[in-house]
Amino acid sequence: MSLKQGKGKRLKERIIYLLGLAIIFNLIVISAFSQQREQPVSANRPVEFSAFAQIRYTDYSSDSHDTFSLRRVRLAFSAAVMPRLDFKVQIEQTKSVSLMEACLDFHLNRWALVRAGQFKIPFSYENLKGSSELDFINRSTVIESFCPGRDIGSQGRDIGALIRLYTSILEASFGLFNGSGINRLDNDNDKDKAFRLVINLSKGLAVGGSWYEGRWPEAENSSRLRRRQGLEARWQPGSLAFAVEYIKVFDYDREGEGWVVQAVLSWREGQFQPVLRYESLDRNLALAHDEKEVLTYGLNIHLAPRTKIQLNQEIHRPKGGKKKNIFLFQWQIGF
């Protein structure tokens, strides 16, 4: 048996072992939850708790390196403190306890609300999707690289306020933000602006666009431009769902762009989901050989609400560079 065949056999054995272990543990946990009785609530407006954890195995087959990691451990609670006033808090607990979200929602009426605090910037459908609800283990490289709040390492969030309008036909959000990221004070005298509009053309078909502009401090008395423009479309004809996004980047010293398209097939009432995604990224249009392509395919196995197993294979192809293959296995359990 060749060295390559031996590595392939060991990888298959590891995948089978991880799948079996995760399924057995999930069955035990789900059985335990199903036997719990609902406790009576004494408060008029009870606090709702939710949590999830993601345990990940990553095999960087290109350099023979693999590792287990605790990707996310999050606890969230929310409540309606008044008939029109809600609050939500989310905490990340992996390396250390970190405040991810803390915001108040004041509902003006059935189709409008005002939000203030620390929360996700209204830009991009994939960015706004919860980490426990992703169709792929990792968000696309395009979103992670270009989306406001993610391009500065704040997971798509910032401190600010917005007004949101929503009907059956459209959804519109406009907000002002510090532009400095989570758990940070504003680092300049300007507020960053964000706008997102989504129109539902028909059942299962929606198109939209996002815009973001702000300034990032460069020196004591100067700052640089940060502008992001995005387009998005989603179409779900039955059990097959398609999504495409495009982001254009304008910074003080560069322009970049990226787009991503994905397909998700829901089989057996969504319990099994084969997934496929292709993305193209160019961080600097002025540089030659700066493009990168990423192909991702995999399978989601849903065992219970917010509890699932995901397997992904990522193939990274930088132009003029070495191809990289990454295998990922993620087990998520939540309530």
Is the predicted pLDDT of residue 264 greater than 70, yes or no?
A: yes
Q: Is residue 37 part of a domain?
A: no
What is the residue whose two structure tokens read 């029109």? 84
Q: Is residue 30 part of a domain?
A: no
What Rg do the C-alpha atoms of the chain give, in angstroms? 21
Q: Is residue 81 part of a domain?
A: yes
Q: Is residue 89 part of a domain?
A: yes
Is the predicted pLDDT of residue 31 greater than 80, yes or no?
A: no
pLDDT of residue 145: 96
pLDDT of residue 294: 98
200: domain CATH number is 2.40.160.10
Higher-pLDDT residue of 271 and 289 is: 271
Mean pLDDT value of segment 175-188: 91
In this structure, of 17-21, 27-31, 182-186, 264-268, the range with the lowest mean pLDDT score is 27-31
Is the predicted pLDDT of residue 36 greater than 60, yes or no?
A: no
Range of the domain at 315: 3-25+53-334
| Residue 48 one-letter amino acid | E
Whether the full predicted model's pTM is greater than 0.95, yes or no, is no
| Helices vs. strands in the chain: H and E counts, helices first | 3, 16
**Residue whose C-alpha is closest to residue 136's, from 243, 20, 17:** 243
Q: Is residue 34 part of a domain?
A: no
Mean pLDDT value of segment 268-291: 94
Q: Is residue 67 part of a domain?
A: yes
Number of domains in the chain: 1
Question: 6-15, 80-89, 135-144, 183-192 — which one is most confidently predicted on average?
Answer: 135-144
Higher-pLDDT residue of 46 and 27 is: 46
Element containing residue 223 per DSSP (H, E): strand 222-235
Q: Is residue 48 part of a domain?
A: no
Q: Is residue 33 part of a domain?
A: no
Express each pLDDT in 58-116 by its tens digit.
999 777 789 999 999 999 999 998 889 999 999 999 888 999 999 999 999 999 999 99
